[in-house]
Amino acid sequence: MTCQGANQGTWYEIGTWYDETIEEPVRAVVKLLRNNGFNTICSCGHTGVVEMEWYQDYEITKLWDLLSNRGYKDFAIEGHWETWPVYRRTLIVTLGSK
């Protein structure tokens, strides 16, 4: 099975998409978040940051519980929202150590 990389026009085998597009230090958490309903929109392995869309306030608790229950101990969650030019809310997770 294959899927197209976001905004890249490149086709990847599903099993290698994470390997080809997500940096190693955040790959596992990006996969965990996506597999649990969070739409990640960018990540940086060098800084340990993952950004995702945020729709409902309860998602902050869901995110905290998910990371805590999977053994992540040193992380921070920030909420951001923009009202111009388009209303958008995002959550940013900064990882420390697992």
Tell me the pLDDT tens digit for each residue of 31-87: 999 999 999 999 999 999 999 999 888 999 999 999 999 999 999 999 998 888 878
Q: What residue ranges do the domains of the chain occupy?
A: 23-95
Class of domain 23-95 as given by CATH: alpha beta
Q: What is the C-alpha radius of gyration for the chain, rounded to an integer number of angstroms?
A: 14
The answer to pTM > 0.75 is yes
Contacts of 59 (CB under 8 A, 6+ apart): 38, 91
Helix, strand, coil proportions of the chain in percent (round to 5)?
35, 35, 35
pLDDT tens digits for range 21-42: 899 999 999 999 999 999 999 9
User: Which secondary-structure segment (H or E) carries 95?
Assistant: strand 88-95
Cβ(40)–Cβ(33) below 8 Å? yes
